[in-house]
Amino acid sequence: MPREIIEIILSEADPYMSGAQFHAAVAYPDPQDKNEREKFSQAIIRWTLERRMELHSEWAQNLQLIRPAYFSGSEKEHESILKRGMKRLKHRLAAAQFIVMPHLRAIDTGRAQRVEGFVPTVNNMAIQAAGYLGMESGSQSTVKSRVWKPTKPVVHAACAYVVWHQILWNKWGRNPKADKQLAFLILPEMVEEVVEIAELFRGQLADISQFKIQDNETIQFVACWEPEVTILNGAPESAANDTK
């Protein structure tokens, strides 16, 4: 049984919250950071909306159904929350890519994987992750304690996003020029894909011998579609045409 179950709400009426909720939970898996998680989720949504307005001026000029709360708070506070959360998220994705992904590839291919010629032990991959994160030489102990350890409960989810973003998008024949990050943040069906992959990976963690992550240490992500609602004055425009 997982340590915790996090339900990601998928909604056509409010498509921006699902990807933000996912990223925020990955960045802040500790229940004690619940307030930071919620703040980061809202900051991601605000960034997403501002980015979409910047890229699609016609969309920005039309009437859209957007919660006013997404733009609450000062610009300075928003930037601070976003910067802090993105640093956490980068740590989670780095731990996933360097420490866990080689072992998931080995499970998939049946062949042991090396990274830059190194056997993917936690120590070796912590050295690689430290370099990627711009840390000083010899920082692998810091990576193991401050990056890898807090990432363990959600590392399967971080791996799922990395695989979806770096491999599956192209494998599934999607537009290679599309902004994949923006697509994830405005298309709930993309989030649903990543959540399904995350659950597959969560079940494979116990098969990895280089480290131990028990099922009761993990956070299970579950995606649920919000019941459709009737909007009298028109329905929100689908974001699919902007990204697919």
Query: Residues 201-222: pLDDT tens digits?
Result: 999 999 999 999 999 999 999 9
Give yes or no for residue 228 having a pLDDT over 80: no
pLDDT the model gives residue 229 = 61
Query: Residues 164-177: pLDDT tens digits?
Result: 999 999 999 999 99
Encoded amino acid at 28, one letter: Y
pLDDT the model gives residue 184 = 98
Distance CA 66, CA 77 (A): 20
Judge contact between 135 and 200, C-beta under 8 A: no
96-116 as b/e: b if 16+ CB within 10 A:
bbbbbbbbbbbeeeeeeeebe
The Cβ of residue 38 has, within 10 Å, a number of other Cβ atoms equal to: 14
Give yes or no for residue 183 having a pLDDT over 80: yes
Average pLDDT over the chain reads 91
State how far the alpha carbon of 5 is from the alpha carbons of 17, 31, 153, 167, 199, in Å.
Answer: 17, 11, 11, 27, 11
Q: Which pLDDT band holds residue 235 (cuts at 50, 70, 90)?
A: very low
Beta-bridge mates of residue 5: 220
pLDDT the model gives residue 240 = 47
pLDDT the model gives residue 238 = 47
pLDDT the model gives residue 151 = 98
Query: Residues 37-78: pLDDT tens digits?
Result: 999 999 999 999 999 888 888 887 887 778 888 888 899 999
pLDDT the model gives residue 243 = 53
pLDDT the model gives residue 71 = 84
Distance CA 122, CA 210 (A): 7
Residue extents of the structural domains in the chain: 4-243
Tokens 């791996």 -> residue: 159
Q: How many helices (H) and strands (E) does the chain have?
A: 13, 2
- Tell me if the pTM is above 0.95: no
pLDDT the model gives residue 11 = 93
The better pLDDT of the pair 210, 232 is held by: 210
State how far the alpha carbon of 33 is from the alpha carbons of 19, 23, 26, 27, 78, in Å.
Answer: 18, 14, 11, 10, 17
